[in-house]
Amino acid sequence: MKRLLEVEGLTTNFHIGVGCVQAVRGVSFHLDAGESLGIVGESGSGKSVTMMSIMGLLPDYAQVSADAIRFDGADMLHLSAGEFRRIRGDGIGMIFQDPMTSLNPLYTVEDQITEPLRIHKNMKRREARQAALELLRRVEIPNPEARLKQYPHELSGGMRQRVMIAAAIACTPKLVIADEPTTALDVTIQAQVLELLQHLKSESNSSIIMITHDLGVIASMCSRILVMYGGIICEQGTVREIFYEPKHPYTWGLLRSIPKMSQERMGKLIPITGTPPDMLRPPKGCPFAPRCPHAMPVCRAYLAPETALSETHRCACHLLHPNAPKIERGL
Ligand code: SF4
C-alpha cells in the first residue's frame, strides 16, 4: 500500500505570555493512500493541533518542528511557500468544525467554491461556476443555481457544512482532513454528512483523516485509529484492535464512557474522573498518570515506550512491561 502521509517526531509548542504550552510532543504516524484514519481524544489532547501543524495553519507564536513530514512523496519541511500553498489547496482539503466561522460571511457560496478552482486549476470564471454547480449537486444541495448566489448566513447549518465539503473537495484532493465535521450539527444532519463523506470517499478513493472525540463516528467511518492524550499518541491500531483488544487505560476509559443500550448498562455512563493535564506543565511521566487507577511509581517518573502488539497495534503504557502487574480491562 502506498504511503500518502508520513509524520515523524512532530512537536508543537505555543509560546504565550505565561509560558510554553507543549501541545504536541513527538507524534509519529502514517496514512496510506485510500485509507480512513480516525484521531480520537479529549479537547486539548493535541489532535487538531497535530493536523493544523502539518497544514501550516497555526499562528506565528506556534513553534512546529519534526524529524520528517512527507505528503505524496514531497518533503513538507523543505517546500517553498508557493509549493506549500499548492499542496494545501490542491492535494489536501480541510473541513472544519464550524462552517459559520470557517466560511467567509462576506462572500457568496459561488465565490467560496470557485476560488480554489480558479487559483489551483486555473479555471476561467464560467468554467469554475459550472464546476461549482456540479459540486453542489454532488453534495446533494437542492436548487444549486439559487444557492450559488447566497451568503453563508442564508443557509442552514447542514447546508453550510455541505458547502464547506464542496469547497474542500473542489480540487479532488488526495487527502481530506475533517476536524469534528459533525459536532455543530443535530443528529439527523450528522448522519447525512457522514454518509455523504463516505460516499465521496468511495467515489474518488481519497484518504480521510477524521478528527473527533466521538468513537461512534470513528467506528462507522475509519479503518484505523490513533488515540491521543496529553499531546502524545498513547495507543494506535485497527478499529477492531482498539474496540476489542484495547491495552491503554485511557482507551479503556473512552470505551467505557460510550452510551450502551444493553440491559445491564442502560442509563449508566462511566466517566473518566479527573481533568486533562495542564500542557503548560505536562507531567514528567505518563500524562494520564494523575487519572489512571493503575498508575505505578514508574508511570510518574518516565513516559512509557511504545510496545508493538501487532503490525498495526502499538501502545505506550508501563502495564505492558513483562514485570508489570497483570490488570484485566474493566467493563
Ligand atoms: Fe496508567 Fe501507568 Fe499506563 Fe500511564 S503508563 S496509563 S499511568 S498504567
pLDDT tens-place string over residues 282-318: 999 999 999 999 999 999 999 999 999 999 999 999 9
Q: What are phi and psi of 161, to 5 degrees?
A: -65, -35
Q: What are phi and psi of 30, to 5 degrees?
A: -140, 165
Q: Does residue 317 have its Cβ closer than 6 Å to ligand 1?
A: yes
Q: Does residue 71 have its Cβ closer than 6 Å to ligand 1?
A: no
Q: Does residue 316 have its Cβ closer than 6 Å to ligand 1?
A: no
**Residue 181: its pLDDT value, please?**
84
Secondary structure of residue 34 in the 3-state scheme: coil
Look up residue 177 and give its three cell numbers: 482532513
Q: Does residue 232 have its Cβ closer than 6 Å to ligand 1?
A: no
Q: Are 29 and 207 in contact (CB under 8 A)?
A: no
Closest residue by Cα to residue 29 from 50, 56, 52 = 50
**Residue 123: its pLDDT value, please?**
94
**Residue 175: its pLDDT value, please?**
94
Q: Does residue 303 have its Cβ closer than 6 Å to ligand 1?
A: no
**Residue 65: its pLDDT value, please?**
96
**Residue 278: its pLDDT value, please?**
92
Distance from the CA of 53 to the center of ligand 1, in angstroms?
A: 27
Ligand 1, from 227, 228, 232, 248: best to mutate by most atoms within 8 Å of Cβ? 248
Residue that is written with C-alpha cell 454528512 in the block: 193
Distance from the CA of 121 to the center of ligand 1, in angstroms?
A: 49
Question: What is the maximum alpha-carbon separation in the chain?
Answer: 68
Q: Does residue 70 have its Cβ closer than 6 Å to ligand 1?
A: no
**Residue 264: its pLDDT value, please?**
57
Question: Would you mind telling me the total number of residues written for the chain in this entry?
Answer: 331
Instruction: Looking at the CA of residue 234, tell me the nearest atom of ligand 1.
Output: 6
d(CA 279, CA 299): 17
Q: Are 256 and 330 in contact (CB under 8 A)?
A: yes
Look up residue 23 and give its three cell numbers: 501541545
Ligand 1, from 299, 315, 326: best to mutate by most atoms within 8 Å of Cβ? 299
Distance from the CA of 331 to the center of ligand 1, in angstroms?
A: 17
d(CA 12, CA 25): 7
Q: Does residue 292 have its Cβ closer than 6 Å to ligand 1?
A: yes
Q: What are phi and psi of 105, to 5 degrees?
A: -65, -15
Cα 2 vs. chain centroid, distance in angstroms?
Answer: 20
Residue type present at position 175? L
**Residue 129: its pLDDT value, please?**
96
Within a 10 A sphere around the Cβ of 162, how many other Cβ atoms?
25
Distance from the CA of 93 to the center of ligand 1, in angstroms?
A: 36
Distance from the CA of 3 to the center of ligand 1, in angstroms?
A: 31
Instruction: Looking at the CA of residue 250, tell me the nearest atom of ligand 1.
Output: 6
Residue type present at position 331? L
Residue that is written with C-alpha cell 454547480 in the block: 133
Closest residue by Cα to residue 231 from 38, 56, 26 = 26
Secondary structure of residue 261 in the 3-state scheme: coil
Q: pTM for the full model? A: 0.91
Cα 101 vs. chain centroid, distance in angstroms?
Answer: 18
Q: Could you tell me the CA-to-CA distances from 133 to 137, 139, 143, 147 in Å, in that order?
A: 6, 10, 10, 9
Q: Does residue 255 have its Cβ closer than 6 Å to ligand 1?
A: no
- Ranges in the chain, pLDDT < 70: 184, 260-268, 330-331
Instruction: Looking at the CA of residue 293, tell me the nearest atom of ligand 1.
Output: 1
- Helical H segments across the chain, by residue range: 47-55, 81-86, 99-102, 109-120, 125-138, 144-148, 157-169, 187-204, 215-221, 239-244, 249-256, 297-301
Whether the CA torsion 277, 280, 285, 286 is positive or negative: it is: positive
